[in-house]
Amino acid sequence: HDRGTSTRVTRTYDSRASHTHGRVYGSSVDVLHSTQHTAATTFEDTMNSMVHSQCASLAGTRRVTMPRAQRATSAKTRGAVRVNAGLSVDLKGKKAFVAGVADDNGFGWAISKALSEAGAEVILGTWVPALNIFETSYRRGKFDESRKLSDGSMMEFAKIYPMDAVFDNMDDVPEDIATNKRYAGNEKWTVSEVAKCVEEDFGKIDILVHSLANGPEVAKPLLETSRKGYLAAISASSYSNVSMIQHFGPLMNKGGAAISLTYLASEQVIPGYGGGMSSAKAALESDTRVLAYEAGRKWGIRVNTISAGPLGSRAAKAIGFIDKMINYSLSNAPLSEKPLNAIEIGNATAFLCSPLASGITGATVYVDNGMNIMGAAGDSASFQ
């Protein structure tokens, strides 16, 4: 400590630092205070003593006073408490498996791109009937513009596997699918087989993304939905997530994260979103909470789902009313100046899969421009 203007920085480190993804983040407290007079000096010593006494009971705590050369600080920062300045999403060295990418304009692609931007190695699982078209378009450069990353490089996929998440193993595959020409030439595409192939090719992974859904009778009201159509929606859109975590969970590193995508229709009535799809999304969200508990206890991984707003992707347009939902959101969502961008879902996914979200699990995270909070339509004639 110097007489006159000076700054003392006392930093305490807890040896019981948290360990996430093999990295250590020690808890720290920085106390900065400027002194100019003897009275101020006494106050500073008192504060430093208080901080030290509060932390001394922690096992392995040690007190470090930084050298004078490192004490200089601007007037703006004096007297401030600074914790974890300069946070960023860093997924370097992490391996991610993303299921449900079949083109470059959906959520799955945007998620893959965000994970790549953060440094993760991305592995894909693509629906078998769409695989040939997707790989051909990829090779011919049709996705090159979409593949460009912020640093000028191109997003690359470590490998693309054929996958149909409706089937756990080949015993589940009916004859009409097994002999379907769209599946010809492909093998080992059930969930359990793909998980085994990924483990053989890449070893452990850190991130698992479920970005797929299908409701063969989605255009039908629930009152007109058949049992077969309803159960098909549940199987493809929600149980597939359970199956993926069952089979990929054992090959995920502790501290890993699993993410799925849901929709507001799980809890609110969205006319036109039928065929049991609203029920499937409700099941997905309930399963997220249960899986967060079970997979967290069993493998030490986190499980969350993102409730995404409407996006005019190729898959969504098959529903038929997606443009109406986008316009409705633009008219009524709190953030109404722009439609939702798929990369916003990607960014949220990257965050939830990073060490920054190490305490978040079992959550439904809304990324929908705030549409989920609305209880009445602002564009209704009643409000005009």
Yes or no: say if 31 and 9 are a contact pair by the CB < 8 Å rule: yes
Confidence at residue 337, expressed as pLDDT on a 0 to 100 scale: 86
| pLDDT at residue 80 tops 90 | no
Res. 84: pLDDT tops 90: no
By C-alpha distance, which of 73, 79, 136, 76 is closest to 103?
Answer: 136
Residue 295: the pLDDT is: 99
Lowest average pLDDT, out of 27-31, 319-323, 341-345, 366-370, goes to: 27-31
Average pLDDT on 102-113 reads 96
Please, which residues bridge with residue 205 across strands? Answer: 252
pLDDT tens figures, 207-244: 999 999 999 999 999 999 999 999 999 999 999 999 99
In this predicted structure, the answer to whether residue 340 has a pLDDT above a threshold of 50 is yes
Tell me how far apart the alpha carbons of residues 122 and 281 are, in angstroms, rounded to a whole number: 26
Q: Residues 245-265: what's their mean pLDDT?
A: 98
Residue 316 pLDDT:
62
pLDDT-wise least confident of 52-61, 301-310, 351-360: 52-61
- Confirm if 240 and 210 have CB atoms less than 8 A apart: yes
DSSP collapsed to 3 states, the chain: CCCCCEEEEEEEECCCCEEECCEEECCCCEEEEEECCHHHHHHHHHHHHHHHHHHCCCCCCEEEECCHHHCCCCCCCCCCCCCCCCCCCCCCCCEEEEECCCCCCCHHHHHHHHHHHCCCEEEEEEEHHHHHHHHHHHHCCCCHHHHECCCCCECCEEEEEEECCCCCCHHHCCHHHHCCHHHCCCCCCCHHHHHHHHHHHHCCEEEEEECCCCCCCCCCCHHHCCHHHHHHHHHHHHHHHHHHHHHHHHHEEEEEEEEEEECHHHCCCCCCCCCCHHHHHHHHHHHHHHHHHHHHHHHCCEEEEEEECCCCCHHHHCCCCHHHHHHHHHHHCCCCCCCCCHHHHHHHHHHHCCHHHCCCCCCEEEECCCHHHCCCCCCCHHHC
Q: Which amino acid is at 356?
A: L
Structure tokens at 59: 């096992």
**3-class SS letters over 29-49:** CEEEEEECCHHHHHHHHHHHH
- pLDDT tens digits, 132-151: 999 999 999 999 999 999 99
Which part of the chain has CATH 3.40.50.720? 95-372
- Residue-level pLDDT at 376: 84
* pLDDT at residue 318, rounded to an integer: 64
Q: What is the mean pLDDT of residues 336-362?
A: 96
Structure token pair of residue 218: 């989605």
Supply the pTM of this predicted model: 0.77
Of 134 and 53, which is predicted with more confidence? 134
* Distance of alpha carbon 211 from alpha carbon 287, whole angstroms: 15
Note the pLDDT of residue 353. Answer: 99
Average pLDDT, the chain: 83
Does the pLDDT value for residue 53 go beyond 50? Answer: no
Please state, in angstroms and rounded to a whole number, the distance separating the CA atoms of residues 169 and 161: 15
Q: In the chain, pLDDT over 70 holds for what percent of residues?
A: 75
Q: Given this model, what pLDDT does residue 312 score?
A: 64
Laid out side by side, the sheet with 95-99 consists of: 157-163, 121-127, 95-99, 205-210, 252-262, 302-308, 364-367
pLDDT the model gives residue 324: 85
User: pLDDT > 90: what percent of the chain?
Assistant: 67
Query: Maximum Cα–Cα distance for the chain, whole Å?
Result: 88
Greater confidence (313 vs 144) lies with 144
Is 95-372 in CATH node 1.10.357.10?
A: no
What integer pLDDT is reported at residue 183 of this predicted model? 97
In sequence order, the 6+-apart residues with CB closer than 8 A to the CB of 201 are: 159
Split at pLDDT 50, 70, 90, the class of 356 is: very high
Q: What are the residue numbers of the active site?
A: 263, 273
Q: Which range has the worst mean pLDDT, 50-64, 137-151, 301-315, 316-330?
A: 50-64
Indicate the residue type of 331. S
Higher pLDDT, 275 or 87: 275
Nearest CA among 283, 254, 139, 126 for reference residue 194: 126
What local confidence, expressed as pLDDT, does residue 317 receive? 64
Radius of gyration in angstroms for the set of CA atoms belonging to the chain, rounded to a whole number: 26
Name the nearest CA neighbour of 79 among 124, 108, 47.
Answer: 47
